[in-house]
Amino acid sequence: MCSSIHQSRRVVVTGLGVVSCLGTGMHFVWDQLLSGTSGITNIKGEAFEQIPSKVVGLVRHGNNPGEFNLTGLPTIDGRAVTQMTQYCLRAAEEALTMAKWKPVQDNDKERTGVCIGTGMIPLEEVVNAGELQRQFHYRKISPWFIPRILINMAAAHVSLAYGFKGPNHSVSTACTTGLHSIGDAFRFIRNGDADVIVAGGCESSVTPLAMAGFARMRALSTNFNATPQVSSRPFDKARDGFVMSEGAALLVLEELDHARQRNAHIYAEILGYGLSSDAKHITAPPEDGRGAQRCMEAALRDSHLKPEQIEHINCHATSTPLGDSVESRAIQSLFKNHSSNILVNSTKGATGHLLGAAGSIEAAFTVMSVYTGTVPATLNLQTPMTGCDLNYVLGSNITWNSKFNPRIALTNSFGFGGTNASLCISEYVV
């Protein structure tokens, strides 16, 4: 019975919502990405003065096209909602509107779920509450303090806002969170637990404490403070660390027959999902790339694909000296001679690193690549790093002239703790 369900339930993407430093709204952000725009800017303020990295990706707030605001969102109790959750609610509204799925019937709501996570809790909320406690101001601590910092609250608020009564699941696996969320949702639908799931990640950690912590680890870019637009440079010889960014990205995943029955527009199909652990080090991946390789291998097995059917990989590549090299090495080891045929890019050159939302925004970009047949260039990649001979997409976007039908891609995410994910995304062909 389980095998029959597994084989018959295909999962497609019918909606996408993005809030990022490039803008708000999938089509707006995609156009910005293809135009070669960088969303990276300088961080200002007394609290950031001692932090050596001055480059960040901040969401633009306002009422102009592509700017974040709360207009049109479901009514929510602001006392219980952090900025991170606000970003998530906007991304959910964008994705559900695109999917044309806001059910009113109970049976539809019971078959619709959420799978949304974040990499870190809002650290400043804890700092502020802790200071009040140390000053013996117990009654000044908000009764909403705990609900505001729980990892699953973004998922909970989306569920509450739209009345979704299916699976309510939250993932927190550092920078792999967004992709794990989508992969888990894919399996929930494939296994019959729901027909529709809103899935992805959200993050709002561009704060003094979070930046100070990453800076002390020497993980952040510091060499390009005067020119922030070129600071995030995946695979480039001059890369010196990642750029902290904020935002949210959600996909509406839907069982294929369910989508067909309501004549939904289909942007892509999810074919498979792979996971692995490095079991090597808390923050550094193994230099041979075996953890990343096993993860991609698992996604291929789950998709029932041969390596040569993959023609594009949207990489995790964050612009760190070790990480970018390890991922490239893993691609070479797995795909061997075929690796030179794969269009390899990283969209973090334009967006920076959204931590818990990184995997989901990159999954959204991969969906758009298989849908439109365009692979965005890796921004700021001028001199590719030595030691890896891959077909990096540098200089300009590439029109994806596939040898196969449909176009098929992988997108990767890796996180602290040695946790890895890879998702196989295909062009949908009737």
Q: Which amino acid belongs to residue 137?
A: H
Residues known to be catalytic:
175
Q: Are strands 408-415 and 312-314 parallel, antiparallel or unpaired?
A: parallel
CA distances from 429 to 12, 273, 399 (A): 11, 20, 19
Q: Any residues with CB less than 8 A from the CB of 430 and at least 6 apart, and which?
A: none
Which contiguous run of DSSP H or E holds residue 310?
Answer: none
DSSP 138: G
DSSP state of 79: G
How far from chain centre, in Å, is Cα 14?
Answer: 17
Q: Could you give the CA distance from residue 60 to residue 103 in angstroms, rounded to a whole number?
A: 30
Residues 263-292, buried b or exposed e (16+ Cβ, 10 A)? Answer: ebebbbbbbbbbbbebeeeeeebbeebbbb
Q: DSSP state, 46?
A: G
| Residues forming beta bridges with residue 343, ordered by sequence position | 312, 391
Residue 376 near residue 397 (C-beta atoms within 8 A): yes
CB atoms within 10 A of CB 113: 26
